[in-house]
Chains A and B, each alone.
Chain A
C-alpha cells in the first residue's frame, strides 16, 4: 500500500475555501486516489476519487499533481458541517481501504 502524508490538523473560517493536501509519493500507476471523511461519532463517508485528471462533484474538487505524487482536496466554501477528519487513500477498487490518521479540519465562525 502506498504511504500517505497529511497534516494532522487544519483550521478554516466558515464560508472560506479549504485546501487539504496529501502526499502519496509511492502511489502505483494504477491506484486511484480516494478521499473519505469522518464526522464525529459517524462512520467514514466517501467524498471523491480520481486517477489522473482533476475531478469535481457536489461535495468537493480533487486536484491531482501531474506526477500523481500528491493531491489536494478542495472544499470551496467550508461550513461547520464540514468539520471532520479527512482521509486520503491511494488504492484500487474499494476492496480494502488503508486509512492513515488523516487531517482533522476545524471550521470556525
Chain B
C-alpha cells in the first residue's frame, strides 16, 4: 500500500471558480478526515467520515464546502465560489476504527488568485 494519496498536489484557481480535491485513503481504513492548514499554523479539522457516513463537521466548513465519501472508499472535497481566504493546504488522513494512529497524505495546496 502506498499510503494516503491526494490529487492534485497543487491547484491554482481564479476567485469565484469551483474546485474539487480527491483523497484515496489506505484501503482497509474506514475513517477518513479532512484538515486545512494555512501558513505558520497547525492543521485545522474540517470533517470526518466513518465509512460513507459524515459524522462530524467543523464550523470552519462553510456552506461553500462539501465533502463526500461514496461507497466508503475515496473522498472528495469541493469548494464552490472560491475566495482568496480559501488558499491553504488541504490535508486528508485515514485511520482504522479504534486505532490511535492517523496517516496523512501530502496534501493539496490551493492558491486562489
Interface residues of chain A, those whose CB is within 8 Å of chain B, are 32, 34, 41-46, 49, 85, 87, 93-102
User: A93 to B98, Cβ gap below 8 A?
Assistant: yes
CB-defined contacts of B101 to chain A, threshold 8 Å: 46, 49, 94
How distant is A64 from chain B, measured CB to nearest CB, in Å?
Answer: 15
Q: Which of under 10, 10 to 19, 20 to 34, or 35 or more describes the interface residues of B?
A: 20 to 34
Provide the bound-state CA to CA distance between A44 and B93, in Å: 9
User: A45 to B42, Cβ gap below 8 A?
Assistant: no
Provide the bound-state CA to CA distance between A46 and B44, in Å: 16
Cβ of B104 < 8 Å from any Cβ of A? yes
Provide the bound-state CA to CA distance between A64 and B91, in Å: 29
How distant is B23 from chain A, measured CB to nearest CB, in Å?
Answer: 11
Interface residues of chain B, those whose CB is within 8 Å of chain A, are 4, 31, 33, 35, 40-45, 48, 55-56, 91, 93, 95, 98-107
Provide the bound-state CA to CA distance between A101 and B42, in Å: 5
Q: Which of A43, A49, A85, A100 has the most CB of B within 10 A?
A: A43
Given A32-B100, A93-B100, 15 more A-B residue pairs with CB atoms under 8 Å apart are A41-B106, A43-B91, A44-B91, A44-B104, A49-B101, A93-B95, A93-B98, A93-B99, A94-B31, A94-B93, A97-B43, A98-B45, A99-B44, A101-B40, A102-B42
CB-defined contacts of B44 to chain A, threshold 8 Å: 99
How distant is B103 from chain A, measured CB to nearest CB, in Å?
Answer: 7
CB-defined contacts of B45 to chain A, threshold 8 Å: 96-98
Q: Which of B31, B40, B42, B43 has the most CB of A within 10 A?
A: B42
CB-defined contacts of B40 to chain A, threshold 8 Å: 101
User: A94 to B91, Cβ gap below 8 A?
Assistant: no
CB-defined contacts of A32 to chain B, threshold 8 Å: 100
User: A94 to B100, Cβ gap below 8 A?
Assistant: yes
